[in-house]
Structure 1
Amino acid sequence: MFGKFLAISCLLLVGSLLADDESGAIAAQKEVECCKRECNPSCATKGPCKKAECCLQNQSCKEKKPCKKKTCCRKEGSCCSPASQPSLPLCKDVTPSARGCTCKDGWVAFADFLWWQAGEEQGIRYAFNNSSEILDHGSIVTLDTSSDPGVRLGVGYNLNHDQWDLVGYWTYYHNSSTDSLSVPTNDVNLGLIPIFLNAVPFNVGFIKTVWKLNYNAFNVDLGRAFYVSNALALRPYISSETVWIHRWFAADAKSQNPGLPLLAIDTPGKYRTRIKYWGTGPRLGMNTKWYFGGTKFHFLSNLAFSLLYGKGKSHAMTSQAVNGIPDQTGVDLSEECWAVVPHMQLMLALGWEKCFCNDQFFTNFFVGWELNEFWHLASIMLPSGFSAAATSSGESIYMQGLTARIQCEF
């Protein structure tokens, strides 16, 4: 009897030990299942994970961190990895979206501050500085342009269709530069020869010039940002571009200095020109982002080309007095033409970005250098060989300098 009791007790003890082992195995299996899942649930379906801990997106539970009590829940269907912590998401996309922080649709808004310098590629030439008794022995004088502020404002929408985005933006920039040059009154053999006057070249003592540029552009971009590695994102886009570029140039040659040769202008001469161009056309571009080791900082670039077809108008006039008699020689010319103008845009910058409210809000800052170059625009019409014939050839203009942006997506 005692032997039977002892045998039954041993069987119960062994069964209890086996049951404990099985319970431990089930608990371990649940923990493994918690760590293997995607870790992107809604707050109501955290499963077997502990309540005081949350899994980071696309990471194992070994890297979990305490949940914040007031942290808002990620919406169902979100599958993008945060751009501030770039990693390929668990989506099945061939090129996973690199949009801001979330795959949901929403608004995009940004504002740029521009501090640019503008000018013409070959320089704005207005005088010849005669430095000896021999004519045409000296240097060409060009106008040094200044830097002025501008602005770029944009608004767009992140689309549901394959995570594309549609953005429209307006750019405004105005530059006004002045320059002047004079020669000493006691230098008998020195003088300035204005190249914008068409009479026999005369020396003058003082020339003042003003150059202005007014630039307006409107763009509409359609693009898609996607990851090609854990630290590199691309955004190719197609765009339409319309630009208005207006330029003014004025120069005034003042009365001669007493020490200059007798063959000189003794009353002022002046030159005025106005050049307008508007054009529209297609544009292709590529944005790139290189992230620094999973941080919120990145290096970014933008390269775009467009072909603009539009109309240019030029008007130039000179008025010159000789020997005290005003308006003895002068030119009044106008020109209109249709032309294709290539436009290149290049930008290099350093940026920082951050996601808020469990990736429901995104902000981005960057500061960099930007270059805009327009080729074969109508140039300033100047007298050719100091004669009444004027020349007007294609000229490249540029705008380059600082660009700083703040951008929000919500």
Structure 2
Amino acid sequence: MKTLTLLLSFSLLLFAATEPPYTTPGKIYESSTQTITPSAGPRVDHGINAFITGDFIYWTARMDGLAYVQTGVSDGGSNANHGKTRYPDWRWTPGFKAGLGLSIPHDGWDVFVEYTWLHSSAWDSLDNNIDGINPIWDISNLWNFAADVFTVQSARVNWKLYFNNFDVSLGRNYFVSRYLTLRPFIGFKGSWINQDYHVKCPIVTDEISSLFGMKNDQSYWGIGLRSGVNAAFRFTQTWSIYGNLALSALWSQFEVDRADTRNDSRNDGLPDRPPLNVTVTDINFEDSFHTVKGVLELGIGMRGEWWFLEDRYHILLQAGWEEQLWINHNQLAKVHFVSSAHGDLILQGLTVKMRFDF
């Protein structure tokens, strides 16, 4: 037992002697005991300590409050079949990030600028539902015609997202223990996001046969403060688990345009009916306002990094899961209060990053 204890003690002493504190592959940064939070770099020899990054993202984009119809309704004369609320069929879409940074001599600070691009779309349709459909959006006063639940038996929805974002940060990456690094940062976020949300509902009654359509488009830009922290839990000098957190408050402008149309192929010819086979716009307005909106960003994954050519260059590879929550981002125009009043924009998925320092 004493022999085993001596062997374990010797092994621990040997490990401590061969593993200098505050190390990264090939480099030791400010390991002096005079430094409270030694810089964790990464830095290279005989270079300008600039770096570029590129990310492949494969995300799904979703927004609350985009339901367009409900099934499982009855005219009151019989029991309704069990139905459900229908939403766009959310899909996964590739995108990218591109970044440029510089590590400056002052206390190990770094400046980083990153751009994110993502275009996504989702759609859904419901055809010939003989049990009837309850439209969620009152398109061109559709509810006046759809008092009979069997009036609407088909509907279609289409949603498109155009997402662009810039992040600028000033941070410092440092050791808080032998195997834990933190990079707190402050900076700015600038975004412009456009969305198109279109719904179509054909209806048939004894008096009319018509196609009702709604175009509900939202344009957004925001700029404001962003702050957070990047953490790395190191297993070895090469491999680590990373975790990212960022919060933003953006001064934002929403511009929302809504146009509802109706095209009758048959009607009873009353004075308030539109001409046949002519698209008539009977709701057409916009809403523009400023406010402050919050954004939450989270990320976690695995990372590996290496130096090469006598520490003149550094490369980092990582892959993980990222989530962004754009709080209360759904400001689409409503004629009446509906169950899809407001909601959040959610972006999440796989993010694969490469960084090159020189």
Partner of 1:170: 115
SS of structure 2 residue aligned to 1:382? coil
CA 1:134 to 1:333, structure 2 compared with 1: closer, same or farther past 3 Å?
farther
SS of structure 2 residue aligned to 1:162? helix
Task: Give, in whole Å, the separation in 2 of the partners of 1:264 and 1:153.
Answer: 57
Paired letter, 2:164:
N
| Bigger proportion of residues as strand | 2
2:314 pairs with 1:372? no
Post-superposition shift, 1:92? Answer: 3.3
2:293 pairs with 1:352? no
Contact persistence 2:98–2:116 (CA under 8 A): yes
Post-superposition shift, 1:206? Answer: 1.8
2:219 pairs with 1:276? yes
Post-superposition shift, 1:357? Answer: 2.5
Post-superposition shift, 1:210? Answer: 0.8
1:240-262 CA-partner distances (Å, limit 9, x unpaired): 11100111011112354xxxxx4
2:198 pairs with 1:246? no
Contact persistence 1:379–1:392 (CA under 8 A): no
SS of structure 1 residue aligned to 2:68? strand
1:181 to 117, 126, 133: 126
1:337 to 286, 289, 298: 289
CA 1:282 to 1:112, structure 2 compared with 1: closer, same or farther past 3 Å?
same
Contact persistence 1:180–1:209 (CA under 8 A): yes
Partner of 2:8: none
2:97 pairs with 1:152? yes
Task: Give, in whole Å, the separation in 2 of the partners of 1:178 and 1:391.
Answer: 19
Paired letter, 1:290:
F
> What pairs up with 1:21-40 in 2 under 5 angstroms?
none
2:135 to 194, 212, 218: 194
Contact persistence 1:369–1:401 (CA under 8 A): yes
Of 205-214 and 195-204, deviating more is 195-204
Partner of 1:407: 355
Post-superposition shift, 1:232? Answer: 0.5
Paired letter, 1:191:
G
Task: Give, in whole Å, the separation in 2 of the partners of 1:301 and 1:105.
Answer: 27
SS of structure 2 residue aligned to 1:280? strand
Paired letter, 2:120:
N
> What pairs up with 1:216-255 in 2 under 5 angstroms?
216-254=164-202
2:31 pairs with 1:89? yes
Contact persistence 1:183–1:205 (CA under 8 A): yes
1:315-356 CA-partner distances (Å, limit 9, x unpaired): 112123565354678322210100101011101111111111
Task: Give, in whole Å, the separation in 2 of the partners of 1:297 and 1:80.
Answer: 15
1:110 to 53, 77, 90: 53
TM-score, normalised relative to structure 2: 0.81
Partner of 2:230: 287
Paired letter, 1:207:
A
Task: Give, in whole Å, the separation in 1 of the partners of 2:87 and 2:318.
Answer: 34
Paired letter, 2:223:
T
Post-superposition shift, 1:172? Answer: 0.7
Contact persistence 2:233–2:240 (CA under 8 A): yes
Task: Give, in whole Å, the separation in 2 of the partners of 1:141 and 1:280.
Answer: 34
> What pairs up with 1:55-94 in 2 under 5 angstroms?
81-83=23-25, 89-90=31-32, 92-94=34-36
1:157-201 CA-partner distances (Å, limit 9, x unpaired): 1101111001111111111111111234xx3xx112322222315
Aligned residues: 321
Task: Give, in whole Å, the separation in 1 of the partners of 2:63 and 2:99.
Answer: 28
Contact persistence 1:88–1:227 (CA under 8 A): no
Paired letter, 2:288:
E
Partner of 1:48: none
SS of structure 2 residue aligned to 1:267? strand
Task: Point out where structure 2 has 5 or more consecutive residues left out of the alignment.
Answer: 1-15, 268-272
Higher-Rg structure is 1
Task: Give, in whole Å, the separation in 2 of the partners of 1:381 and 1:329.
Answer: 16
2:259 to 317, 320, 323: 317
1:124 to 53, 62, 66: 66
Partner of 2:9: none
Post-superposition shift, 1:395? Answer: 2.6
Contact persistence 1:353–1:363 (CA under 8 A): yes
Paired letter, 1:141:
R
Paired letter, 2:153:
G
